[in-house]
Amino acid sequence: MPLGDHRYGKSDIRVVKLERGPERHELRDLTVRVMLEGEYDAVHTDGDNTGLVATDTMRNVVYALAAERTLDSLPDFARALVDHFLAHPSVTGALAHISAHPWQRLPGDEAHAWQRGTGGTRIEEVRADPGGMGHSAGIEDLLLLRSSGSAFEGFDRDRFTTLPETDDRILATVVTARWDYAGGAGDLEAVWARVRDTLLDAFTDHHSPSVQFTLYRMGEAVVERHPEVERIHLSLPNRHHLPVDVARFGVDDRREVFHATTEPFGLIEATVERH
């Protein structure tokens, strides 16, 4: 039987690095995944492990490079991991995927104390194969909500349609975004923060007739404002907030009470690309 595409690696490598400066500590909290491709057909078909990089070795390389570097730039760290494994004679392709978990400094002790931060999980990914090297970034678990300025009207109706139209509703979502950088994009550490800020700004800078419209507006704003970004893919679940009819309890219904549902939910996805 022929062997198709195959790869392997080490996933969920948890790395917390604490750099102890004389007056202020710096914290990075990461989850790293390394995946390799190479001349490994015989590993699968013949049980011959010659030249195979152990996944335990991959984990240790992540720890060692994290110790050697400042981690001031996550794109540079991901690139260093890929470069390290590409130097191995049996490796033809490598991927380093980094999730950076947010922490926020405590007001009472900003030098040495943190609480879990908000604003989503940062993603950085570098991948390389014989065709070259590519770099992408993104954000996950970014919870956003608008209490006004969102409607949903004029959609198709048939005998199965029960959803009422509305000209004012809560729009809530959990944004997942992934964007690809152009070659030579510059300071990607700074670019990531600017793209995130653009997504936040574009979520609220318009009247929203649908989640689809808002998704496109967010992607359009990123591509328009950031020449470093070639394309962006967005996934926006519609986390419905359904009004509760409290009048049935003998209470004045001012449409202030909602039931926040988790399932089922609408899911809207699209990619916005540069011309």
Active-site residue among 55, 57, 92, 121?
55
Active-site residue among 10, 97, 135, 226?
10
Examine the residue annotation and report whether 55 is marked as an active-site residue of this protein.
yes
Q: Please tell me the distance from the alpha carbon of residue 225 to that of residue 223, in angstroms, as a whole number.
A: 6
Examine the residue annotation and report whether 17 is marked as an active-site residue of this protein.
no
Alpha helices in the chain (DSSP H): 41-45, 55-68, 74-86, 188-204, 211-225
Active-site residue among 97, 135, 226, 240?
240
Supply 90's token pair.
Answer: 């049996």
By annotation, the residues acting in catalysis are 10, 55, 240
